[in-house]
Structure 1
């Protein structure tokens, strides 16, 4: 019989494992812990069933074929390209960055696994062009967890998938409350993935063996996980929803550059006048330039709280600056002259060049807390819309933010179309980037909710 679902399941029983736990249904995420060398049992949450269940989680500590050597030469890469091009089924893909250590979101390790090819750990620092590998995988489905985080960096290495299956998005659509890879693997496969190396400095060279083991395990069971999630999505009638979400992630354009990115400094709400905001901007721009030149995460060059402290105190000299507790550290004191120069520039700015205390001009709606005073009708629309979407979320066991982007919902309510009937609501949602499945679910409910409001 021909399979008409969007997903083709790979052969079962990969790696010869027997899954010790079955999926228990949406919105029930058992918290399993391990004790003892082999497995742990945790009581399942109370679902009202008459029969209690135990979830057994088996720690996954070693890749099935061991940890492969890092691929860091053209010759080794050529062998990987040939092997993966000859493999079968989907390919599991993951990438590691050095967030919090290095400037930007560059990829420092690429992991892949495919039936018939095994696992490959590739160093993109030594091999920045991986387009040959991408070409060998044209038409092959890539399985990633939280694909939107990894795809931009992979594109920089010349890797572009033809199709994507995102296991995190799949878990969200199934209503799982915890959607991190370890939690989903534990719930769906009954396997325990350790995540203690998830936030390490992946730019380190050479990479320690235990980190490489962790990296290999991250792709070890992704294809198995995809198999289970695809089956559950089909049973739940959500396979087409997932297919549309996966394609949206795959084809998403690069994020636009932020307007006035310095306004994202933590604690900026405590800085209330234009002169001090000008100092924040000068310090942020100086820090960003220095961090980029040194390839260090900006927060390690100068913490946000130090920027805010300097803007509040407005020191007029290096001794005054270093007297602030936020500038007492060795690293910040070493560059105190640099920071004081930035502060001096902010203090010297003419009033006409100071930033606005209201933030940059934007076509986005104002904060919802201000709606009741500025536009009571819009506030009423938003309240009705949120109630309708929340009901849909409960009914279909899908998070509110996955049913419809909150920003799109606010825009619909703040600047509504000429008519709030289903046709016009649907057109507005579609123009705002909502997928067909989202429009089909939400437009009728939103139109019905708007129809109950006073005209």
Structure 2
């Protein structure tokens, strides 16, 4: 059951446990997650952020049914994330896909990843973080001060919610810039092959094959 909606300001709406019925994001939706840590099979998924690219963000806070328990069922969110007709735009999709698949029991596809795109075309720099890409390609400054805050808190602060929204509000524009660079450098097809592999890469990570990596020569 979808929880109540809490408008934060004109651009951000917080939902408890699921998206409301009938909310549409169009053919492309920007997705990000906030968790208790960076190990997808260990650390709890706390928040899922979504934006259609229109300057608004919807945040879904997933609240466990009991301490240490699983979050409530979220059929609307799961339906959107697994919808093959909706492109999911992410930054560092390898992690987000893994934690979403592990928590929700779905396959998250199709996806594109701005971090993978940046690494394929911005080989002149090692600045591939979201803040750096937004600054360099969009002229937008976003703060990362709340990145390591407690996302499992029952009540999130306004600062946390603004930070979480900023991680999806610019992904559409950022992907458009990076896709054009992929085409320019003749690496769009290679990028797509990477994106198509992401659900399987996430399953390998969840099975513990991040280290040792089965693609590594190291025995």
Alignment equivalent of 2:168, drawn from 191, 206, 219: 219
CA contact (8 A) 1:141 1:162 kept: yes
Alignment equivalent of 1:245, drawn from 194, 209, 213: 194
Alignment equivalent of 1:255, drawn from 179, 202, 205: 205
Which residue of structure 1 aligns with residue 72 of structure 2? Answer: 128
Provide Cα deviations, 1:400-429, integer angstroms capped at 9, x if missing partner: xxxxx8953456xxxxxxxxxxxxxxxxxx
Which structure 2 residue ranges, 5 or more long, are not aligned? 1-7, 65-70
Is the aligned partner of 1:142 residue 2:82?
Answer: no
Which structure 1 residue ranges, 5 or more long, are not aligned? 1-62, 265-363, 365-404, 412-455
Deviation of residue 232 (structure 1)?
0.6
Alignment equivalent of 2:28, drawn from 90, 93, 96: 90
Distance in 1 (CA, whole Å) between partners of 2:54 and 2:10 is: 12
SS in 2 for 1:193: coil
Is the aligned partner of 1:108 residue 2:46?
Answer: yes
Deviation of residue 66 (structure 1)?
2.8
Provide Cα deviations, 1:85-115, integer angstroms capped at 9, x if missing partner: xx32310000001128xx9221101100014
Aligned residues: 197
Which residue of structure 2 aligns with residue 66 of structure 1? Answer: 11
TM-score using structure 2 length: 0.78
For the aligned residue pairs, the C-alpha RMSD in angstroms reads: 2.9
Q: Which has the higher helix share?
A: 1
Distance in 1 (CA, whole Å) between partners of 2:205 and 2:155 is: 32
258 and 147 in structure 1: CA distance in 2 versus 1, 3 angstrom threshold: closer
CA contact (8 A) 2:115 2:129 kept: yes
73 and 409 in structure 1: CA distance in 2 versus 1, 3 angstrom threshold: closer
Distance in 1 (CA, whole Å) between partners of 2:214 and 2:16 is: 43
SS in 1 for 2:27: strand
SS in 2 for 1:105: coil
Alignment equivalent of 1:187, drawn from 133, 136, 139: 136
Answer with 1 or 2: which has the greater Rg.
1
TM-score using structure 1 length: 0.40
Alignment equivalent of 1:205, drawn from 127, 150, 154: 154
